[in-house]
Every structure is written in structure tokens, then in C-alpha cells.
Amino acid sequence: MTTTPSARDKAAQDAAALVSYLRTVPSDAVITDLIDLGEHLERAIRAFHMEAIRFRAFTMSRLIKQHHETLPADVSVRMDAILQDLEAAGFQTRSVTA
């Protein structure tokens, strides 16, 4: 029997998946920063630490928007999915948009 993960669990899983994906693309300073922030974001989601979630999500969103030309196209799509999962879990991420 499988259970459907909660929106919060899905957000944490999506953050972990984004980090795993970023580890497979050619690394540069932005990718390294996004990996670090993504790891922190996943831990913050699992710990339900609202301020850490907002800070990491905002910083990741800002970096992705600033460097969207050099990042794989699906990075922003994956980040949007994380933000949607966080919204569904009750986190207010609308102020996160960079």
C-alpha cells in the first residue's frame, strides 16, 4: 500500500530531486550555490522552519532568474513546482518571487 505524500513532503522531495539533478549538469559557481541552497531548503522544509524556507526559496529563485540563460531550462520549472508545493502546504511564498 502506498500513500500519497503531503504537499510539504512533496516540496522536500522536489527540492532533493532538484539538487540531484543539479549535480548532473556541468558545474559552475551558480550551480554550486544552487546545490548548497537546495540542500538547505530541503532541510528547512523538513524542519518546518518558515524563515529559512523563505530565505532559501527567495535566494534560489533570484539566482535562477538572474542566470536563466545559462541554466538548463527545466531548473526554473522545477523551482516553480517546489514553490507550488510549498503554497499547497500552507507556506506563503508569493513574497519569495525575486
**Rounded Cα gap, residues 42 and 22, in angstroms:** 14
Q: What is the pTM of this model?
A: 0.89
57 grid coordinates = 526559496
Place of cell 518571487: 97
Q: At 67, which amino acid appears?
A: H
Q: Give per-residue pLDDT as tens, 39-67.
A: 999 999 999 999 999 999 999 999 999 99
Q: Give per-residue pLDDT as tens, 9-34.
A: 999 999 999 999 999 999 999 999 99
